[in-house]
Structure 1
Amino acid sequence: MTRAVGIDLGTTNSVVSVLEGGEPTVITNTEGARTTPSVVAFAKNGEVLVGEVAKRQAVTNVERTARSVKRHMGEDRWRFPATGDVDGKRYTAQEISARVLQKLKRDGEAYLGEDVTDAVITVPAYFNDSQRTATKEAGEIAGLKVLRIINEPTAAALAYGLDKENDQTILVFDLGGGTFDVSLLEIGEGVVEVKATNGDTHLGGDDWDQRIVDHLVSRFGHGYGVDLARDKMAVQRLREASEKAKIELSAASETTINLPYITASDQGPLHLDEKLTRSQFQQLTEDLLERCKAPSTRRSRTPGSRPPISTM
C-alpha cells in the first residue's frame, strides 16, 4: 500500500512530508533543502524549471517566471503572464501550482522509492470554496489523488503534537510569504476543530520585501534621477536583495544592500549601495504590522460564531 504525503503548498516556499513512526518527516528535495521555492519558470528552450533553479534564473528571465501564485488561487480570470503569453500559452493558477506539486511529488518518490499517488494538501483556514477547489484541481493536474484539503493552523497544531495534550484552546498566528491568518482552535480527545478564523489573502512576507524595494527605488531615484521600477531585471535583483536584507535584520540592527551595475545611464553603469537599519525597516512596515492586528479583532468568518477572536 502506497503512503500518502502531506504537502504545504506555500506562496513563497512549499514542503512535502511523510509520516514515519507516527511522526511527520520533512522530505529533502533533490537540491538537499527542506523547502522548495514556489517558483516556476519557462526557459527559452522549452524546459520548465521549478524551485531553486527557477528562482536563480529569475533575474534574466523575469517575464517568463511565475511566483507568489497562491495569492491568485480561485481567481477565474487570472492568467500568467498578465499580458502577452509564454510560447503562445497563458496559464491558470492551478496549472502553475501543479508544476510545483509535480516537483514535490518527484522528490517524495525519490525519498520513498515508490510512486506517490495520494496527498493531503494544506490551505489557509479562511480559504473559500473556490480557492480550496482550485488547490484540489492543482493536485489532480499534478497526478495526485487529493485525499483531503486541511487547514494550515490545524496542521500546525498536529505538527506540534498539541492534539496529544490536555483539552485546550489555542490561537495560531500564521504569517506566511503571501497570506496571513489567525485561527482559534479547540482541541479535545485528539480532535482539532477550528472555532474561528480570519485573515488577509494579500498580506505576507512579500509585502515586507516590497517595502524595502520601494524604499531603494525612491532613494536611487533621488540620487541618480533614474526610476529603477521601469527596469524589470533591476526590480528582480532588488526583490532578491530585499528579501535577504529583511532576513538579516532579524538578527542585525543594520545591513548593507550592495548591487553593482544595477542599471546604466548616459554616463555609464550605475551602482546601488544603501544601508538599512532595523529602525528604518520597522518604520517602513509599521502599517503592515497594524494590518496583522485587524484580523484578530474582526468578527470571525466561521458560520455561527459571533464574538471577535480577541474576546473568545
Structure 2
Amino acid sequence: MTEIIVGIDLGTTNSEVAIVREGRVEVIPVVPGVRILPSLVGVADDGSLLVGEAARNQYALHPERSVRSIKRRMGEFASVQMAGKDYSPQEISAMILRRLRDIAEAHLGEPVGKAVITVPAYFSDAQRQATREAGEIAGLEVVRIINEPTAAALAYESCHSGARKALVYDLGGGTFDVSVVNLESDVVEVLSSHGNNHLGGDDFDQKLISFATDHLRERHDIDVGQHPLAMARLQHAAEAAKIILSSEPYATLSEEYLLEKDGVPIHLSVEVSRNEYEEMIEPYIAETLDAVHIALSGAGLTVADINEILLVGGATRTPLVQRRLEQELGMQPRAEVDPDLCVAMGAAIQAAVIAGGQAPTVLIDVTPYTFGTSALEYFNGQMYPFCFVPLIRKNTPIPVSRSEGFCTIFDGQSKVDIHVYQGEDPDALNNIEIGRFTIDGLRDAPAGNPLVTTFSLDVNGILEVTSREKETGLVHSITIDNAISRFTGDKLAEARERIDGLFGEQEGADRQPVATTTEASPSDDRRRLRVEAGTLIEKAERLLARAGTEDAEDLVNGIEVVKNQTEGSDADLKVAMDALADLLYYLDV
C-alpha cells in the first residue's frame, strides 16, 4: 500500500484538496456535493476560528474579523490583522491548509501528513518558501511544490494521449499564468512560462465595485470608500454579479440598507450589462494576451505551433476570455476539465507519482525567472560594479545547476560579497535582490584570484548558491529560502502551536510530527535579519524615484528608522522592518 500524499491547490479565492485512489483522481468534498473551500478565514463572535464558507458569510458583516485573498501577500514581511491580532500571511494560509488537511483526514479515515502544493508559475522564491512554511505550520510535510499551469496540464494529460503542444491559460482569483507545454508519451514538459502575480478575478471585482461606488456618489453624493462595512458588502455583491455575467447578459448589483446618510437608509440597485463589464476588464484581458505571446516567444514557437488551449482558473469562465483567446489564437479553448478543480487534480497526480502509485505521467518543469549575481564589468562604456551576470536563465528546465568563474579585483583581497538577484535587467540594481552572503578568509593573492560560483535550483524552486575559492577549496553558501524566510525553526514551531490552538488541537494529541526547517543559531538569525533589512532598504530606495512628495517623506523616514535599528535589538529591527514593508506594499500596489 502506498503512503498517503494529497494534492492541494491553495488558491486566492478558492482552495481544493485531491487524492489518487485506485487509479482515479478524486477531489475530496468539503461538504457533500461541494468540493471547493473559499480561501477566507475569520474569527466568530465567540472567538472560534472560521475557515471557508462560514468566513465568507461573515466577511460582509465583520470585515475587521476576516481575511481574504491572502495569497497575494505571500512572501511579504508584513502582517495582517484579524480580530485585533497580527498574523503573518503564512499563518493565515496555514489555517486554510489545516482545514483542507482535516477535510482529507475525515474523508479518508487516516492521518494526512504529506502534500504536494501548487503555486503560480510566476511565484518568486520568497513566495514559494512562504507557501512551504504555511504547509509546515499546518502540520504538513510539503514534499513538492509545482506550478499551477503544470498541474493543470497533468490533469488534462491524464485522460488524453498523443503528442501535442498546449498553451495553458491560468486566470484565477488573484494571479495569472500562461505556460507553453509539450505533451508526449506520458511526459509533460514545460517549455516556457510568463505571468502576473497580481492579476485575476479580484481585479474584475474591483471594476464592478468602482462601478457601484460611482453610481452611489452620483446618485446620493456619498463616498462609500469611507465605510469599510459597506465596502465589504459591495465586494460580496460584485462577486455575485461577476458570476451571473458569465452566463447572463445582465446582472444587478444589489444591497439593501447598504448604509445611512443623515438618518436615511441608502439602498444599492444598479444594473450592469455584460458589454459594460467587458469594457471594464478588457485592459486586463489584453495584458494576458501580451503574456501569451511572450510565453510563445520564450518557447521559440508561434501561434501556428500550438495544438490546443487549456483553460484553468474560475475567471476563465468569463466569455470575453474565451472569445479573445479564440480570436487571437484561431482555435476554441478546451475546458472539459473543471477549471476550478484541474489544478488540485494535477497536484494529486504528482503526489501519486511521488508516493509510488499508478500515475505514470512524468513532469518536467522550468524556472519562470532568471537568477544571477553581479560583477564589475563594462556597462555603458565604463566600469560598473553591479553588472548583472545571469547563471540560470528563465525557462530553463529544473532541477538545474550552473556555475560561473569570477575573480578578485584587488591584490590581497580577503573577502568577496556575493549578491543574488532575480530578474532580467543588465543593471543588477534594477532586479530583485533575494539574498547575499560573504566569502571571507581568502588566501593572500594578487588580483585575479579565481572563485567559482554555483547556482542550484531544485524542483521546488528553492535556490542554493555556493562560492568556492578555486585554489584552496574554501566554500561559503546560502540557501535562498533561509535568506528570505520569515520563520526560523523556533518561529515555525510557535506558529504551529498558535494554529493548533485555534483549531482546538490538544497538546500531546496522537499525531506524527512533521519535519520543519532546520533551526538556525542566534548569530545566523541575527545576520539573516540584517540581510533582509538591507534588501528592504534597497527596494525602498528604488521606489523613492517615483514616489510623490508626501510618500517620499514617509519612505525616507521609514528607511532611516530601519537603518538606525540595525545596530539595535532584533525585536526593534523587526518592528521597523514590518512598518517599512507595510508602507512599500501600499505604495507598490
Map residues 27-38 of structure 1 onto 2, 5 A cutoff.
Answer: 27-30=28-31, 32-38=33-39
Tell whether 2:196 aligns with 1:200: yes
Equivalent residue letter for 2:192: A
Deviation at 1:157, TM superposition (A): 1.3
Map residues 228-247 of structure 1 onto 2, 5 A cutoff.
Answer: 228-247=224-243
Q: Distance in 1 between matches of 2:177 and 2:199?
A: 9
Q: Which range moved further: 108-117 or 39-48? A: 39-48
Contact 2:66 2:83 in 1 (8 A): no
Deviation at 1:30, TM superposition (A): 3.5
Q: Distance in 2 between matches of 1:211 and 1:249?
A: 13
Deviation at 1:304, TM superposition (A): 5.6
Q: Which range moved further: 47-56 or 284-293? A: 284-293
- Say which SS state the counterpart of residue 229 (structure 2) adopts: helix
Q: 1:175 aligns with which of 165, 168, 171?
A: 171
Contact 2:61 2:233 in 1 (8 A): no
- Say which SS state the counterpart of residue 116 (structure 2) adopts: strand
Partner of 2:505: none
Contact 1:163 1:192 in 2 (8 A): no
Question: Relative to structure 1, is the Cα distance of residues 280 and 95 closer, same or farther in structure 2, using a 3 angstrom cutoff?
Answer: same
Equivalent residue letter for 1:30: V
Q: Which range moved further: 57-66 or 220-229? A: 57-66
Q: Distance in 1 between matches of 2:33 and 2:50?
A: 17
Partner of 1:309: none
Partner of 2:560: none
Partner of 1:294: 290
Deviation at 1:147, TM superposition (A): 1.0
Deviation at 1:177, TM superposition (A): 0.4
Deviation at 1:33, TM superposition (A): 1.5
- Say which SS state the counterpart of residue 194 (structure 1) adopts: strand
Let me know the Cα RMSD of the aligned residues.
1.8
- Say which SS state the counterpart of residue 86 (structure 2) adopts: coil
Deviation at 1:251, TM superposition (A): 1.3
- Say which SS state the counterpart of residue 28 (structure 1) adopts: coil
Contact 1:209 1:239 in 2 (8 A): yes
Deviation at 1:54, TM superposition (A): 0.5
Q: Distance in 1 between matches of 2:163 and 2:50?
A: 45
Partner of 1:225: 221
Structure 1: give runs of 5+ residues left out of the alignment.
307-312
- Say which SS state the counterpart of residue 18 (structure 1) adopts: strand
Map residues 1-312 of structure 1 onto 2, 5 A cutoff.
Answer: 2-30=3-31, 32-75=33-76, 77-81=77-81, 86-87=83-84, 89-161=85-157, 165-298=161-294, 300=298, 301=368, 303=393, 305=395
Contact 2:252 2:270 in 1 (8 A): yes
Deviation at 1:294, TM superposition (A): 2.2
Partner of 2:535: none
Q: Distance in 2 between matches of 1:267 and 1:154?
A: 54
Q: How many residues align?
A: 301
Deviation at 1:191, TM superposition (A): 2.1
Q: Which range moved further: 50-59 or 28-37? A: 28-37
Contact 2:212 2:253 in 1 (8 A): no
Deviation at 1:267, TM superposition (A): 4.7
Q: Deviations over 1:159-202 (max 9, x none)?
A: 12358522322110000000000001122332212210000000
- Say which SS state the counterpart of residue 223 (structure 1) adopts: helix
Q: Distance in 2 between matches of 1:6 and 1:162?
A: 15
Superposition TM-score, scaled by structure 2 size: 0.49
Q: Deviations over 1:213-267 (max 9, x none)?
A: 0110011011000111111111111111111111111111112222111110115
Contact 1:37 1:55 in 2 (8 A): yes
Deviation at 1:32, TM superposition (A): 4.5
Deviation at 1:290, TM superposition (A): 1.4
Q: Distance in 2 between matches of 1:243 and 1:121?
A: 26
Equivalent residue letter for 1:79: S
Equivalent residue letter for 2:57: R
Structure 2: give runs of 5+ residues left out of the alignment.
299-367, 370-392, 397-589
Q: Which range moved further: 96-105 or 28-37? A: 28-37
Contact 1:163 1:190 in 2 (8 A): no
Question: Relative to structure 1, is the Cα distance of residues 191 and 95 closer, same or farther in structure 2, using a 3 angstrom cutoff?
Answer: same
Superposition TM-score, scaled by structure 1 size: 0.91
Question: Relative to structure 1, is the Cα distance of residues 115 and 256 closer, same or farther in structure 2, using a 3 angstrom cutoff?
Answer: same
Q: Distance in 1 between matches of 2:280 and 2:394?
A: 38
Equivalent residue letter for 1:58: Y
Equivalent residue letter for 1:70: K
- Say which SS state the counterpart of residue 29 (structure 2) adopts: coil
Contact 1:2 1:116 in 2 (8 A): no
Q: Distance in 2 between matches of 1:163 and 1:254?
A: 36
Q: Which range moved further: 294-303 or 195-204? A: 294-303
- Say which SS state the counterpart of residue 100 (structure 2) adopts: helix
Equivalent residue letter for 2:200: G
Question: Relative to structure 1, is the Cα distance of residues 266 and 138 closer, same or farther in structure 2, using a 3 angstrom cutoff?
Answer: same
Contact 2:60 2:236 in 1 (8 A): no
Q: Deviations over 1:92-133 (max 9, x none)?
A: 111100000000000000110111111111111121211111
Deviation at 1:78, TM superposition (A): 2.2
Equivalent residue letter for 2:25: P
Question: Relative to structure 1, is the Cα distance of residues 164 and 255 closer, same or farther in structure 2, using a 3 angstrom cutoff?
Answer: closer
